[in-house]
Structure 1
Amino acid sequence: MEAEQGNWFAVRTKPRKELYAKTNFECQGYRVYLPMCRTWRSSARRRERVIRPFFPGYLFLYLLPHEQNWVSINSTFGAIGAVRFGNFYPPVPEYLINALRQREADSGIIELAPRRSSPFKKGQKVTVMIGESVVSGLFQEMHDDNRAIVLLNILKQQIKARVPIEAVTTYAVA
C-alpha cells in the first residue's frame, strides 16, 4: 500500500501573527513551514537586523487529503484562512517549497543577497540615458539591485526619478 501524497497550501495569517498561527497549527498536528529571513528594521535612533517572515502574512501547511479540513484551518487562532479561489484551494508547487528550503542557511534562515554596492557616491554628477536623450543629474542612492534614484535636471528643475542602473553613467564634460 502506498503512502498518501499530500500538498502544500498557503494560509493567510493576521498581521504580524505568523509565529502565533504556526504554533497553533503545530499544536493541532499540522506540518507547517514558515520561511524566515534576516532583514533591517529602523527605529527612531537605530537600525538593527531582525528575523521576519519571508512572506509576511503567510505560512504553508502540508496537508494529506484527509487533513484538508478548511473550517478548522480557517478558524485557527492567528490565521485568516487558506488561500482559495471560490471553492478551489490551489496547492503550492513542491518545487517552490524545496527551492525556499535550499536557500536556508544552517540556522534555518533564508539569507538574502546583500544589496549590490553602489557604483556611484551620493551627490555625484551622473548622466542618464532616457530613450535617445541624455540628461544630467545627481546620484542619490540605489533603490534595489536594478534601479537607482537620481535627481534629474529637467527644464531647470530637479526631478527625483527611479531609473535602471544600466542607464546611469558618470558625468562626462563635453
Structure 2
Amino acid sequence: MDFKTGPTAKKWYPVYTQPRAEKKAHQALITKNIEAYLPLHRQLKQWSDRKKWVEEPFIKSYIFVNIAPHEQADVLMTKGIARFLYFSGKPATMPTRQITELKLLMASPYELEVTEENLQPGEKIVIKAGPLKGMTGEVISHKSQKQLILRLESIGHSIIVNAMASYIERF
C-alpha cells in the first residue's frame, strides 16, 4: 500500500522516454540505482532474410520509476528520459497496486494488446479464476469475443486482455 507521505516517501511515476530509447534509458536508471520497471513482451519480427523473436516495450516510450520526489532530477538527467507525465500540474503517480497488476499481466499466459483509443466504459467486472484472479476492469465486445479492459488512466492507455467468459464475474 502507498501510505507513506513526505519528502522521502517513494511513489511510482510514469516517465516518457525519447523514441525507441526505452531499453537504454531503463538500463541507465538501473545503473544509477533507481528502481525502474519497463514492461517487455516477446514479438516475432520479420526482416527480408529472417524472422526473430525480440523483446519490445509493451507500452512504447514509457518507463515506470519508484522514487522519492527529491530524486526526480536524477531521473530527468538520465540519457533517454524525456519528461515526467503531468496531471493537474503535478507529476502523475501510480498506485503500487497498478504496477503489481501490470507485472502480473506481463507474466500471465493471456494474449495482451495495448491501445490508446478512448474505449467507452462498459460493465464492471472482476476476474474470478486464473493467474489474474481478483483484478477488476470493464468488458467490451471486440472481434466477437469478450475482453477485459484494464484502464491505466494515469498514463492514458488501456490494456486489453483476452479472458474466458467463465473467468469473469459482474459486480
Going from structure 1 to structure 2, the CA distance change for 1:42 and 1:112 (only over 3 Å counts) comes to: farther
Q: What is the TM-score of this pair, normalised by structure 2?
A: 0.55
CA contact (8 A) 2:24 2:80 kept: yes
Q: What displacement does 1:89 show?
A: 0.4
Where structure 2 has 5 or more consecutive residues not aligned to the other structure, the ranges are 114-140, 145-171
Match of 1:27 in 2: 31
CA contact (8 A) 2:35 2:67 kept: yes
C-alpha distance in 2, partners of 1:114/1:86?
30
Matched, 1:68 2:66: no
Match of 2:82 in 1: 80
C-alpha distance in 2, partners of 1:91/1:67?
14
Going from structure 1 to structure 2, the CA distance change for 1:111 and 1:15 (only over 3 Å counts) comes to: farther
Match of 1:90 in 2: 92
Q: What displacement does 1:13 show?
A: 1.0
CA contact (8 A) 1:34 1:60 kept: yes
Q: What displacement does 1:45 show?
A: 4.2
Going from structure 1 to structure 2, the CA distance change for 1:90 and 1:44 (only over 3 Å counts) comes to: same
- What percentage of residue pairs aligned between the two structures are identical? 25
Greater RCO (CA < 8 Å, at least 6 residues apart): 2
| Bigger Rg, structure 1 or 2 | 1
Map 1:1-40 onto structure 2 (within 5 A). 4-40=8-44
Match of 1:55 in 2: 59
Q: What displacement does 1:76 show?
A: 1.4
Going from structure 1 to structure 2, the CA distance change for 1:63 and 1:73 (only over 3 Å counts) comes to: same
After superposition, what is the alpha-carbon deviation per residue over 1:86-115, rounded to whole angstroms, capped at 9, x for unaligned?
74101022221111112344xxxx655289
Computed over aligned residues only, the root mean square deviation of the Cα atoms, in angstroms, reads 2.9
What letter corresponds to residue 113 of structure 1 in structure 2? E
What letter corresponds to residue 98 of structure 2 in structure 1? L
Aligned residue pairs total: 112
